Amino acid sequence: MVDLQEIAEQVRNCRKCDLWKTRKNAVPGEGNPHAEIMFVGEAPGENEDIEGKPFVGAAGKLLTKLITEVLGLKREDVFITNIVKCRPPQNRDPTEEEIIACSPYLRLQIDIIKPKLIVTLGRHSTSYLFSLIGKSFSSITRVRGKEFEWKKDDNTIIKVFPTYHPAAALYNPNLRKTLEDDFRKIKSILT
């Protein structure tokens, strides 16, 4: 089986969709290869595209704060990635085609890391993970804050916990409070 470095190299050389034409850097993801918890966002934004690292802009700072202050973990303890590894121009939503082209990288990362829990941030990654679980997805508001189970082909079970994308909570105090509540639930799932 390939390792995380090889996947990162494949992602950096990837031309499976057109996003390679406009990206500065692909963003494979980073963190502990043995992480118990994996965070899956949507796609890199401007700062991530420049740095080649996930969640380093304003939304990333909020995510990092929640990881450290609510979960009591360090960023390096978890694994952080996105469903689409290259920045869509002007931060538009990723297309279905881009998600289909890119998602095999996420599947490989999950197979290697074997996390106990995947936290999906926002509707795109939640909708994709739900398609793997065989659940229909309607809206993030309906499913956030609840725990789901993904029984994989090898019979291992990974918990999936959807919550809001931190970017949505940046300027909305109500969503921010809900996001904090969800992180407290994540802490109780992990302990």
Applying CB under 6 A, the residues found at the interface with ligand URA are 41-45, 48, 54-55, 57, 59-60, 82, 167
Taking the complex as a whole, the smallest distance from the CB of residue 186 to ligand URA amounts, in Å, to 17
Taking the complex as a whole, the smallest distance from the CB of residue 53 to ligand URA amounts, in Å, to 8
Which neighbouring-strand residues pair with 30?
Answer: 80
User: Which lies closer to ligand URA via its Cβ, residue 44 or residue 115?
Assistant: 44
User: Which lies closer to ligand URA via its Cβ, residue 1 or residue 129?
Assistant: 129
Closest-by-Cβ residue to ligand URA is: 41
Taking the complex as a whole, the smallest distance from the CB of residue 48 to ligand URA amounts, in Å, to 4
Q: Enter the tokens of residue 176.
A: 């921010």
DSSP the chain: ---HHHHHHHHHT--SSGGGGT-SS----EE-TT-SEEEEES---HHHHHHT-SS-SHHHHHHHHIIIIIT---GGGSEEEESS-SPPGGGPPPPHHHHHHHHHHHHHHHHHH--SEEEEESHHHHHHHHHHHT-----HHHHTT--EEEE-TTS-EEEEEEE--HHHHTT-HHHHHHHHHHHHHHHHHH-
Taking the complex as a whole, the smallest distance from the CB of residue 84 to ligand URA amounts, in Å, to 8
User: Which lies closer to ligand URA via its Cβ, residue 170 or residue 190?
Assistant: 170
User: Which lies closer to ligand URA via its Cβ, residue 81 or residue 178?
Assistant: 81
User: Which lies closer to ligand URA via its Cβ, residue 88 or residue 115?
Assistant: 88
Taking the complex as a whole, the smallest distance from the CB of residue 60 to ligand URA amounts, in Å, to 6
- What are the φ and ψ backbone dihedral angles of 63, each rounded to 5 degrees? -60, -45
Taking the complex as a whole, the smallest distance from the CB of residue 147 to ligand URA amounts, in Å, to 21
User: Which lies closer to ligand URA via its Cβ, residue 58 or residue 132?
Assistant: 58
